[in-house]
Chain A
Amino acid sequence: MSASTPTNAPAQVLRPDRRRNRLGYNILALVTAALMAFPVYWLIVSSLRPNHEIRSYDQTLWPSSLTFDNFARAVKQDNFATAIQSSLIVSVTAVVGGMIIATLAALAIGRFRFFGRKALMMIMILVQMLPPTAMLIPIYLQLNALGGIDEYWGLIVVYLVSTLPFATIMIRGFVINIPVELEESAMVDGCTRMGAFRRVIFPLLAPGLAAASIFALVNAWNEYLFAYILINDNSKYTLNVWLMTFTTERGTDYGALMAASTLISIPVVIFFMIIQGKMATGLTSGAVKG
């Protein structure tokens, strides 16, 4: 952060009008921050509000008291535990599989020049741009024919491939920042090619893998459309689909919905915090080399 702030000496002595300008910008920026964060605030506050305030015609910005009743109702909702389980199974398996395949492809693209390399990258980028709704119908029909509806593996395969292009391109960025000389000297010292990979490349690749896998995990964790279409069995719903169970014919239990939403968001927020740090690491290593 600080590296990007202009720190030239003359700018330190701000003229009064520039200082007033900065004050204006600061206020504007804080208002923007408040507006951007407001839905997040409203999510948390609503999840902690007593139910009579949730179902009030006169909403207030501050809660009069805080309670965990909504969380209790959310957790007691049918299929909460199985939804967590489904989300974990599907996301983790998809990410692990995706990372292995992406690393292999990234090594090929980053380390070798071969016929079709550029075409492969273009295909990956184009694939990413396909609207998921366009793929939904054929994927549904195909999985239906293979007996993959209501099965975890169907969802796993879809998530695995949907994060594959991004993960490959991202890991490739880390691969090309590892000097080939490191690998070569390991091999001169008697390592096999695999040995050189395991002892030299893999440790250097770890931050990139971590970042890419967290990104893929967040994506799989947040996905809704395919989970909704491919899984019809209540006991196999993923968390995002499970959120719909708070809306019934009689209306929506917003308190419990907000509490459940908060619970689902917590892991994502934590992952995002981690990814920011990892990104900075990846960046510095790139900058030093560049």
Chain B
Amino acid sequence: MTAADTKAAGPPVPVPRVPEKTGISPSGQEADGPRPKKRRKKGELLPYFLILPAILAIAAVYVYPLIKTVIMSFQDLGRAALWGNGETPWVGFEQFTNILGDPEFWAVVGRTVVFMTICVVLTMGIGLLIALMMLKVSTWVRLVLTVALIAAWSMPLMVAASVFRWLSDSDYGLINTLLADITGDEDRWLGHNWFLDPWQGFGIITLLVVWGAIPFVVITMYAALTQVPKELEEAASLDGATAFGVYRFVTWPVIKPVFTMVATLSVIWDFNVFGQIWLLRGNKPEPEYETLGLYSFSKAFESTSFSQGSAIALITVLMLSGVAVYYLRQLIKTGEVE
């Protein structure tokens, strides 16, 4: 279990890795063949041919739609215009002023930020604690824990959401039965609907999100922790440092870059939680369960105002772009992009 394992994890994985030789030295191309001049000329064009398909594909699915989002958010695109009857009127900043002036939008933003913060803090905190614990346990226990983490990790999102919906079902859910047994208060818990009160409902959703994200965090953080030099930790404790002191001054500086990047990724993922809420609410999330993603979705597809939906999506992207740029800078710092 080292750095490369975590590559299985998801989007670009930030783990300090074995220093590697970067690409080729310029001399590599000169040694290419007997006729360096011709080779070099070919080498100048070849990479562009190689990346062309990737660029076209990304442009078609991301760049063009993104530009389209920007354009649409300055128009008023409703169902009528979509089906080709009539022109799409330009409305300037009207969509944005409408959205930004709508108290409901700010309620959604607040909910999204609070939900994201709680999820990220819990995921990173519990994940780090489990990773630290993994260093202290016997080999077979670590194996059992790893298997459990991978089992949880490999569960498809929709399947996991189904299981949590079943666990929290008001009539037949295990959570209610267990709570009734533990507290002895059957009237209170049997038949209790967790989703009537959004705070409780989001509690269940948080449980699902955090449970689903922990394996990635633990396995990445554990990989980082195994790269902390043991001699340094021992030397520090011989010098009389407390366990916390060793952690604070020896362990933490080494794992900090990885921790920051995993936390950044978590922020982005948890800001955009969609499927979990969607499925736990039976494909019909009530307004009080709407986070930014769902809000944009329901504006676009249920109120059939695609322009409103686009404008909200665009605002979301702008809110996250700061985080994204921060993430990119971290990647550059650790040499993942060179």
Contact = CB atoms under 8 A, between A and B. Distances in A.
Interface in A156-184: 157-158, 160-162, 164-166, 168-170, 173, 176-177, 180, 184
Contacts of B171: 57
A41 to B, nearest CB: 9
Given A55-B172, A102-B54, A112 B327 contact: no
Nearest to B222: A4
A190 to B, nearest CB: 11
A187 B320 contact: no
B8 A215 contact: yes
Tell me the interface secondary structure of chain A in the complex: helix
Given A125-B12, A125-B331, A161-B62, A138 B68 contact: yes
Given A33-B148, A113-B23, A129-B327, A137 B159 contact: no
Interface string A198-218: 000000000000010001001
Contacts of A121: 337
A6 interface: yes
B135 to A, nearest CB: 8
B156 to A, nearest CB: 4
Contacts of B28: 180, 184
Nearest to B294: A133
Q: What size tier do the contact residues of chain B reach?
A: 35 or more
Given A139-B65, A161-B57, A161-B62, A132 B157 contact: no
A269 B154 contact: yes
A254 B169 contact: yes
Given A33-B148, A282-B4, A141 B306 contact: yes
A247 B174 contact: no
A33 B230 CA distance: 26
B172 to A, nearest CB: 6
B142 A177 contact: no
Contact of B43 (A112, A126, A170, A240): A112
Q: What size tier do the contact residues of chain A reach?
A: 35 or more
A118 interface: yes
B272 A157 contact: no
A252 B144 CA distance: 34
30 contacts: A30-B144, A36-B145, A39-B155, A56-B172, A57-B177, A104-B51, A105-B50, A108-B47, A108-B48, A112-B24, A112-B46, A129-B11, A129-B268, A129-B323, A129-B324, A134-B316, A137-B313, A157-B60, A164-B54, A170-B7, A222-B157, A224-B158, A265-B155, A265-B159, A268-B154, A276-B8, A279-B4, A279-B7, A280-B4, A282-B7
Given A30-B144, A55-B172, A173-B4, 10 more contacts: A33-B149, A122-B328, A135-B66, A166-B12, A240-B156, A243-B158, A272-B8, A276-B8, A283-B3, A287-B2
